[in-house]
Amino acid sequence: MSSARVGPLCFIKSRVNTAIYQEILEHFMLPSADKIYGDADFIFQQDLAPAYTTKSTKTWLSDHGIIVLDWPANLPDLNPIENLWGIAKRKMRDMRLNNAAELKAAIEASRSSITPQQCHRLIASMPHHIEAVIDAKEAQTKY
């Protein structure tokens, strides 16, 4: 996601290791970023999952000119994508799904209904969320 809109979903059937993560970046993140930003610079945010922080992934990101937001190891998860997933889950709350195909379709429909305005508000709210964490001295907050 970006402040402009959501990007494509990538459904995977295995654990994400370094190689799989780099494939996701190559085939989903880069094309989405190209559509949204063109030649303009952007800052990429990711959490500190092991596959995301390997030397190989850092090199891949650097080789592709991707600037990554520094993210402290012990900071509560303030990634706006988590709030976006919360919106999507609430939209699916009362659905009765019978199989993986229905689940994928429901996730896609829910994600597709998220507006650019919602994405912008999620990104714009981050300074307030970070301020709340600082005020709480990195203790848990409502975010």
Query: What is the pLDDT averaged over residues 36-55?
Result: 91
Label residue 15 exposed, middle or buried (CB < 10 Å: 0-12, 13-18, 19+).
exposed
The residue with greater pLDDT, 35 or 138, is 35
| pLDDT band at 133; cut points 50, 70, 90 | confident
Task: Specify the higher pLDDT residue, 75 or 40.
Answer: 40
Q: Locate the domains of the chain by residue range.
A: 18-135
What's the mean pLDDT when you consider all of the chain? 89
Note the pTM of the prediction, 2 decimals. Answer: 0.80
User: What share of the chain in percent tops pLDDT 70?
Assistant: 94
CATH of region 18-135: 3.30.420.10
Q: Report d(CA 132, CA 136) in Å as an integer.
A: 6
